[in-house]
Amino acid sequence: MPDTIPADSVGLVSPTTLHIDTPITLECGRSLQSYDLIYESYGELNDDGSNAVLICHAL
C-alpha cells in the first residue's frame, strides 16, 4: 500500500456488506432466503441524493 494517496485518486475504498434476510424470488422461480449485498461507495452523497449512481455487473 502506498504511503500517500495521489491527488487524482478516489481515496481508499473498502467493500461494505449488507446482509439481507428478506427472501427474494429469482426469475427462474427459485428463491434465496437470505443473501449478502456487497457494495463500494465513492465520495459523499449530496443532500437530495441526486449524485448517486448504481452500477450492476454480471455475476
Judge whether 26 and 7 are in contact, CB under 8 Å: no
The residues spanned by each domain of the chain are 16-59
Mean pLDDT, to the nearest integer, of 31-43? 92
- Residue 46 half-sphere exposure toward CB, CA atoms < 13 A: 6
Strand partners, 17: 38
- Whether 22 has a pLDDT exceeding 90, the answer reads yes
Mean pLDDT, to the nearest integer, of 6-32? 91
Mean pLDDT of the chain: 88
Query: What is the phi/psi pair of residue 58, to 5°?
Result: -65, 150
Return the higher-pLDDT residue of 6 and 50.
50
CA distance 59 to 46: 30
Instruction: State residue 56's pLDDT score.
Output: 84
- Whether 48 has a pLDDT exceeding 70, the answer reads yes
